[in-house]
Amino acid sequence: MNRRKLLQLGGTSILFTPLLPSLKGAMAPSGTSGSRLFFLPQDLPRIRANTAVPVLRPLYQTFKKTHPEQVKPAIRTFLDSGDIVYDFPAPLRLMNQMALVHLVEPDPALERTLLEGIRFYLNQPKWDYFLDKENHVLGIQRASYTTKRLLWIREVLGDAIDEDLDQELLASIAEKGCIACFHTLDDMDNWAHDHGWDFDENHTDFYKISMERWPMILGANNLRAAPTAALGMGALALQGQDSRANAWLKHAIDSSRKVLHLFSPDGSYFEGLSYADYTLRTLFSFFEAYELQGGQVDWGNDANLDGVIDFILTMQMGRHLDGKPDIVNYSDARSSVGAGIPSWIGRKTGNRYARWAADHCSNPRMFMDFLWYDSELPLVSPSPALKNVHNDLDWILCRTGWEPNDAYLAFKSGGPANHEHADRNSFIYKYNGERLLNDHFGAAYDWRHDGWPIRLTRGHNCVLIDGKGHTYHDGSEGTNDSQAYATVLNFEDRGGVVWWTSDATAAYLIDNLHVFKVLRTVIFAKPETVILIDQVQLRYRPQTVDLRFYPDNADGQGRISLGPSLTASIRRPAASLSIQTASENGLTTGIGKLDVPPETGDFPFLEIRSGETLNHEIITLFEATRTGKSASIAGTVSAIEGGWRFKSRRLDATVYTTGPRPEVQIIAS
């Protein structure tokens, strides 16, 4: 049956389709007070108590400051602009915060505002700004967001919603929410056809991109999760009232499995931690609703949920100055998961580190955090086995511990991914709370914007060959994957000393046919010594090689200085990095800035350049110190037969570089 026939079937056409076996006899009675998708009455004491726990109290206090009088101006702003991207969800965002407060501390003023807000959204002709060539509204983000939030507010208000309004609400959930989400998922599942996705006439300038492949691209990333969950939750609310609900529910379950299969076997997620959060908080809302309605699916068969906890933990890099978790911000990831994600997993799997992840690694910001957080889960510190991790994505994540001032080193190898940057063989190094070698936040999503160069190789701690980075796309399809591959060839974990070699030849060869080998070897002697061995070989035409190293300068306090004899230093307020470099070829050092307008940011970098030749081998020794301690170079680098000898405060090692990849021998550490 095609989707047109499915959506046009009326009345009794699907009434003979039985309820899924797990839901027979379990559906809630009619009326808003009996329809449970988010919580049960017996959960209220726990939810109310959660507003006072340390990790959630600040968010609840923020929610409490949301005043009913803020909603009307937000509605007027949308009515004036017609902007569904930014202004349409703004009133609903305020409403869902007020709904949480009203659930905990009932208030007639909040109730009236929520009822008025519901009527506003029901009066809108559509809930999203994407269309297909048949002029169907697609539920990629805003329709799914609206569906879920209105169902949440409906459940909080209960019998305060009269029968007529409730029927109108459910009809809108079906026609503006579920149908839009179903169209989206159907196109994703049948992406080989030309579905003609585009923005509606009011949003044509939002992005300037080709959407021809978007059903395929979005169908295999985090944006499948939102319409999936909204379709499933809408279907649950409509059971017994809409003949299409059962088919929608089955579609949502099938699509949920496709989303979960995007996670690697070890639980890591290719788009980065922020997008793992978005994916899981939307899916888990549907899973929770399905379970509350009597459904039984072991979602752990489709994803390594315990491994997701490991991923959350290993992506942590201490704290920002504002106290929020700092994370390994590969891709466009900016922030950590909400407290509800690890809590939900801990409740389902009994993971012993889930509570610790919720308390120490989360950035709460959603009402679901209050619904799912469980203070009765055990509080157990992470396993030492997670201090040095080479995950399934070919990312390497190393640390000395879990305190904010511990040392962290994260290295990016691996393959293409949505939201990726041109960053193969780049790395981040944080010491004493300072990102001494940084991966910048805030790269533009749109190739027309000045922040686009932040995405490129020249904006990372990477290698440039002949002044150019490795292959990347032109942004004509958005932030989709490129063709850049790098591979970790070996990973040696000795606890306090760890090293590896990553081969990025494939990433550079596509755009530069003279490339023969691009290897980067890293030795991390915890906590303060990092050694790089960069090997680049070319054929037929000699070319230059540049290494770039960026400190964090978001606050204007990153300083780079050049010293004598190919030495340099990077300074931040709480820590410094002494740098010396060596090569058997001629090297020069310099200081530059990423070429972006000042309003986009100030991104100074240290550059080490090797002149035109076919074979480049560049050694860089980094040694970190806390502010107030001597920042002079304590280590030495010397050439030996077939390689190099390193001596530093933490390490005495030799590296032989004549083989297919460097051979590291630790003499003392």
Burial class (CB in 10 A: 0-12, 13-18, 19+), 540: exposed
The total of other beta-carbon atoms located within 10 Å of residue 374's CB is 16
User: Across 508-614, where does the E strand assignment appear?
Assistant: 515-525, 529-538, 543-549, 559-562, 567-572, 575-582, 587-593, 604-613
Around 433, how many Cα atoms within 13 Å sit in the side-chain half-sphere? Answer: 13
Which burial class, exposed, middle or buried, applies to 383 when counting CB atoms under 10 A from its CB (0-12, 13-18, 19+)?
Answer: exposed
> Domain-by-domain residue ranges, the chain?
66-261, 263-384, 387-635
Residues of the chain where predicted confidence (pLDDT) is lower than 70: 1-34, 630-633
What pLDDT score does 630 carry? 61
Rounded Cα gap, residues 424 and 483, in angstroms: 11
Radius of gyration of the chain (CA): 27
Contact 552, 542 (CB under 8 A): no
Whole-number pLDDT of residue 631: 55
CA 30 – CA 39 distance, rounded (Å): 17
**pLDDT tens-digit map of 536-546:** 999 999 999 99
d(Cα 343, Cα 327) in Å, to the nearest integer?
Answer: 19
**What integer pLDDT is reported at residue 22 of this predicted model?**
40
Q: Give residue 633's pLDDT.
A: 62
Residue 111 CB coordination number (10 Å) = 18
Query: For residue 274, what pLDDT is reported?
Result: 98
Could you tell me if 387 and 399 are in contact, meaning their C-beta atoms sit under 8 angstroms apart?
yes
Alpha helices in 536-647 (DSSP H): none
Burial of residue 102 (number of CB atoms within 10 Å: 0-12, 13-18, 19+)? buried
pLDDT at residue 183, as a whole number = 97
Class of CATH domain 387-635: mainly beta
Q: How far apart are CA 582 and CA 92, in angstroms?
A: 58
Question: What distances in angstroms separate CA 558 from CA 302, 332, 553, one per listed residue?
Answer: 44, 22, 5
Percentage, residues of the chain above pLDDT 90: 91
Closest C-alpha among 242, 217, 216 to residue 231: 242
DSSP output for 325-336: EEE---TT--S-
**Do 563 and 569 contact (CB within 8 A), yes or no?**
yes
